[in-house]
C-alpha cells in the first residue's frame, strides 16, 4: 500500500518569540518586584537580570533604573528605557521620569518597542501556567495534581479552560502535544523550563 505524504501541512506557523520581551536590570530593592509585576500585567514576558553576572537574556527592551548600567547595555539591547529623573533621551535610550504618569508612558513605550505582546498571545494566569506547563511537559493528570496539591478534576478543568481560550483565539488544540506547541509559541514555556522538567 502506498500513501502520499504531504510535505506542506496545513498548519499555521508562527515565529517563536524572543526569550523575554523585557529585561529589568536588578537593583535589589522592592521596586524590582513591583516593576516586574507591572510589566507582566501589561502582557509582556519580563525577567530580572544582573548586568555583570551572566549574559543578558535575549530581549527587545531593557529597563534600567541606574545610570551606571547604561554603558554596558547599549551594545546588548535594541532599546533601553531608563527610569530616573536626571537623564536625557538619545542614542537608543529613552529616559522616563520617575513620576505618577510613568506607568502609562511605560506601557506606551513597550507597545512601540515590543510589537508582539498580548495581541495574539492567549492570556493565562500564573497558576494556570504552573499547572498546564507541568501537564503539557509530560506529567500525567495524577502526577500534575500531586505536584501542585490539587485534585485531578482541577487539572482537567485547567486544561479545558486553557484549550477553550486557544480555540476561541482561532488556534485549535485537541491534545496536550498541540497545547505544548502553542504554549511554546506564545512564550509561556521556555527551553530551560522544558529541559528541567524533562530531566
What does the pLDDT read at residue 98? 80
What does the pLDDT read at residue 117? 47
From 79, 113, 147, give the residue that closes a domain. Answer: 113
Which residues have CB under 8 Å from 123's CB, separation 6+? Answer: 43, 165
Task: Give a three-class secondary structure readout of the chain.
Answer: CCCCCCCCCCCCCCCCCCCCCEEEECCCCHHHHHHHHHHHHCCCCEEEECCCCCCCCCCCEEEECCHHHHHHHCCCCCEEEEECCCCCCECCEEEECCCCCHHHHHHHHHHHHCCCCCCCCCCCCHHHHHHHHHHHCCCCHHHHHHHHCCCHHHHHHHHHHHHHHHHHCCCCCCCHHHHHHHHHHCCCCCHHHHHHHHC
- What is the CA 63 to chain-centroid distance, rounded? 15
Tens digit of each residue's pLDDT (9 = 90 or more) over 8-33: 555 565 555 556 788 899 888 998 99
User: Which grid cell is 134?
Assistant: 507541568
Report yes or no on 108 lying in a domain: yes
What does the pLDDT read at residue 89? 66
Shared domain for 192 and 136, answered yes or no, is: yes
From 69, 85, 113, give the residue that closes a domain. Answer: 113
Tens digit of each residue's pLDDT (9 = 90 or more) over 120-169: 678 888 899 999 999 999 999 999 999 999 999 999 999 999 999 999 88
Domain CATH for 139: 1.10.10
Shared domain for 144 and 190, answered yes or no, is: yes
What does the pLDDT read at residue 130? 94
For the entire predicted model, the pTM comes to: 0.60
| pLDDT tier for residue 40 given thresholds of 50, 70 and 90 | confident
Domain of 185 in residue numbering reads as 126-198
Amino acid at each position: 500500500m502506498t500513501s502520499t505524504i504531504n510535505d506542506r501541512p496545513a498548519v499555521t506557523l508562527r515565529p517563536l518569540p524572543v526569550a523575554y520581551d523585557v529585561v529589568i536590570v536588578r537593583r535589589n530593592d522592592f521596586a524590582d518586584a513591583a516593576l516586574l509585576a507591572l510589566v507582566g500585567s501589561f502582557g509582556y514576558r519580563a525577567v530580572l537580570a544582573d548586568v555583570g553576572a551572566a549574559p543578558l537574556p535575549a530581549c527587545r527592551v531593557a529597563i534600567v533604573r541606574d545610570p551606571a548600567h547604561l554603558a554596558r547595555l547599549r551594545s546588548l539591547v535594541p532599546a533601553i528605557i531608563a527610569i530616573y529623573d536626571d537623564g536625557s533621551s538619545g542614542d537608543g535610550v529613552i529616559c522616563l521620569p520617575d513620576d505618577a504618569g510613568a506607568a502609562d508612558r511605560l506601557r506606551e513605550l513597550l507597545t512601540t518597542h515590543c510589537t508582539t505582546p498580548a495581541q495574539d498571545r492567549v492570556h493565562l494566569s500564573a497558576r494556570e501556567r504552573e499547572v498546564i506547563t507541568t501537564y503539557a511537559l509530560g506529567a500525567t493528570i495524577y502526577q500534575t495534581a500531586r505536584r501542585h496539591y490539587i485534585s485531578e478534576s482541577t487539572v482537567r478543568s485547567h486544561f479545558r479552560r486553557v484549550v477553550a481560550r486557544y480555540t476561541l483565539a482561532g488556534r485549535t488544540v485537541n491534545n496536550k502535544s498541540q497545547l505544548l506547541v502553542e504554549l511554546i509559541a506564545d512564550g509561556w514555556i521556555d527551553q530551560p523550563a522544558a529541559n528541567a522538567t524533562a530531566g
